[in-house]
Homo-oligomer: A and B are copies of this chain.
Amino acid sequence: MISVDAFDLKILTALQDDGRLTNQELAELAGLSASQCSRRRMRLEEEKVISGYHADLSSEALGFGVIAFIQVGLATHSPDNSKRFRALVNRIDEIQEAYSLTGDADYVLKAVLRDLKGLSNLVNDVLMPHQSVAHVRSSIVLDRLKESAKLPLRDLKAG
């Protein structure tokens, strides 16, 4: 079983905020030596508690003006059809997130696009015509209050 103690939690919290912290900076934050942080970080990476590091890019600076949530209902719920839909979703880079949900829609997708034309193209020319898809309803994001992938480690008990 994976065990994560209080030092690990400090390291994880810090790296969640800044993924390029050096072991020495980590050492100060965690109250440990740099070598020990290096060792712990390697362990956490090997155990896949840390699954990766990513640069966060500014969608505004790079000209992505539209974010949309797209609710999708499948034509049938056969395993084959789900498989086809998943394959479709996987090869569309504009779709950042995709989930199957409880409630009315089968799937919800979050997509980033350059403009409304991009959204129209995705919805009308890619999703709608696909054999696996029955209906599609999209909502455009008006304002982003918060957008991160940080886990709330705050109250996690060591163990």
Contacts and interface: CB of A to CB of B under 8 A. Distances in A.
Contact of A90 (B20, B90, B99, B145): B145
Interface of A: 2, 4, 12, 15-20, 47-59, 61-64, 67, 69, 86, 89-90, 93-103, 107-108, 112, 137, 139-154, 156
Contacts of A148: 54, 96-97
Nearest to A93: B152
Contacts of A54: 15-19, 53-54, 56, 148-150
Contacts of A102: 139-140, 142
Contacts of A20: 19-20, 53
**Which 9 pairs across A and B sit closest by C-beta, in order of nearness?**
A19-B53, A15-B55, A93-B152, A98-B145, A103-B139, A98-B146, A100-B143, A101-B139, A20-B53
Copies of this protein, total = 2
A147 B141 CA distance: 18
A152 to B, nearest CB: 4
A90 B89 CA distance: 31
A60 to B, nearest CB: 9
